[in-house]
């Protein structure tokens, strides 16, 4: 059996304890998890990609797990490009593209969706409040999308919820000082 590879791109605005849990759990399933920060063309980002890149890289370094790699060179706002870069750098063909259940419906409108669909299987992580509904499952079947729905349980936190609630307990410990020192995410309003 060959290597099982997960590609986990994220806006990470900022990376939360949810991102940390996802990375930890992916490392138990896959031979290798490759993660990077991207600019999602459908989102307005609070912090610059350089800041978000530093935060995710710090989180991954703190995890100190050889099965989790940070590689910003595969980053693109387009999934199809990130997949291409990843396959070229790591010279493998089988790849699972990790997405949250909140994004499943969006994939059909992604740039070069047909090409992506041929290149990867999707590994769907369920997020609270975003079930994969029967009509979405039918669309996945109609388009012959290869996918698995994960049983990973993640905290009910997202970057956008963090930005609304400003609670340090939702940040990985390794990121708190950097966020405070650089007054990121209006950190003066953050709750200890």
Q: What is the per-residue pLDDT across 107-140, written as a single tens digit (0 to 9) for each?
A: 999 999 999 999 999 999 999 999 999 999 999 9
Average pLDDT, integer, range 184-190:
67
Which range is least confidently modeled, 1-10, 118-127, 139-148?
1-10
| 125 located within any domain | yes
Residues 51 and 42: beta-carbon distance below 8 Å: no
| 147 located within any domain | yes
User: Kind and range of the H or E element at 122?
Assistant: strand 121-125
Average pLDDT, integer, range 161-166:
87
| 182 located within any domain | no
| 38 located within any domain | yes
Distance CA 112, CA 117 (A): 9
| 174 located within any domain | no
Above pLDDT 70, what percent of the chain? 96
Residues 122 and 99: beta-carbon distance below 8 Å: yes
| 10 located within any domain | yes
Query: 40 falls in which pLDDT band (50, 70, 90)?
Result: confident
Query: 93 falls in which pLDDT band (50, 70, 90)?
Result: confident
Distance CA 181, CA 54 (A): 14
Average pLDDT, integer, range 43-62:
95
- Whether the pLDDT of residue 95 is over 50: the answer is yes
Q: Mean pLDDT, the chain, as a whole number? A: 93
Burial class (CB in 10 A: 0-12, 13-18, 19+), 188: exposed
Residue 86: CATH number of its domain: 3.40.50.620
| 66 located within any domain | yes
- Residues of the domain holding 149: 5-156
Distance CA 4, CA 92 (A): 10
| 127 located within any domain | yes
Domain total of the chain: 1
- Whether the pLDDT of residue 1 is over 80: the answer is no
How many Cβ atoms are within 10 Å of 13's Cβ, its own excluded?
Answer: 27
Above pLDDT 90, what percent of the chain? 83
Per-residue confidence (pLDDT) for residue 164, from 0 to 100: 87
């Amino acid at each position: 059996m060959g290597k099982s590879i997960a590609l986990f791109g994220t806006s990470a605005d900022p990376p939360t304890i949810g991102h940390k849990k996802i990375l930890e759990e992916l490392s138990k399933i896959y031979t290798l998890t490759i993660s990077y920060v991207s600019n999602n063309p459908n989102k307005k980002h609070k912090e610059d990609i350089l800041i978000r890149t530093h935060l995710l890289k710090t989180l991954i370094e703190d995890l100190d797990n050889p099965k989790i790699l940070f590689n910003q060179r595969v980053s693109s706002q387009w999934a199809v490009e990130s997949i291409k870069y990843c396959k070229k750098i790591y010279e493998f063909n089988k790849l699972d593209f990790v997405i949250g259940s909140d994004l499943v419906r969006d994939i059909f409108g992604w740039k070069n969706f047909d090409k992506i669909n041929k290149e990867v299987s999707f590994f769907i992580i369920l997020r609270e409040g975003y079930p994969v509904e029967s009509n979405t499952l039918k669309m996945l079947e109609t388009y012959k999308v290869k996918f698995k729905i994960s049983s990973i349980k993640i905290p009910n936190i997202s970057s956008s919820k963090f930005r609304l609630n400003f609670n340090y307990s939702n940040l990985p410990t390794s990121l708190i000082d950097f966020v405070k020192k650089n007054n990121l995410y209006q950190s003066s309003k953050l709750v200890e």
